Amino acid sequence: PAAALATLPGPAPRLRARGCTACGVCLRACPTGALSMRDAGGLTTVLQDPAACDGCRRCVDLCPTSVLSAEGAWGWERVLAGDPAPVATVTTTTCARCGTLFPTSSGERLCPVCAFRRRNPFGSTFPVGQR
């Protein structure tokens, strides 16, 4: 029976996110709370709990960078195991100005929003050539 469970697809899609920015939109979109995020020493991991996932795919539909996808389905053996599975791992840092986590690869100290505000302290700029 255990071997048969491994081959039967469960209701939860197997989520993957290549190019994830760890923005958290998918977590807030999930109506069952099947997605979570864990931060550990500069690495942020998005986790999926296959047992809690009902397969609605709202997280996939609402991903602002369109990098979250469903690749098949978890087998019932994994669903019944009850442990979360990693969806994506992103190198992150904390913004020196606002304290939010943001993805980084080159040691930036400000998130994109704070970096924009530093470059444009009065809110916006004229388009190039439009002064």
For 72, the token pair is: 């098949």
Residue 131 has pLDDT above 70, yes or no: no
Q: Which residue has the higher pLDDT, 42 or 125?
A: 42
Residue 125 has pLDDT above 80, yes or no: no
Q: Where are the domains of the chain?
A: 1-91
| Amino acid 60: pLDDT | 97
The single residue listed with the structure tokens 């998130």 is: 111
C-alpha to C-alpha distance for 51 and 26, rounded to whole angstroms: 17
pLDDT bin (cut points 50, 70, 90) of residue 92 is: very high
pTM of the full structure: 0.78
C-alpha to C-alpha distance for 12 and 55, rounded to whole angstroms: 5
Which among 2, 19, 1 is positioned nearest to 103, based on CA atoms? Answer: 19
Tell whether domain 1-91 is in CATH 3.30.200.20: no
C-alpha to C-alpha distance for 82 and 66, rounded to whole angstroms: 27
pLDDT bin (cut points 50, 70, 90) of residue 2 is: low
| Amino acid 59: pLDDT | 97
List pLDDT tens digits, range 94-118: 999 999 888 987 888 999 889 988 9
Residue 9 has pLDDT above 80, yes or no: no
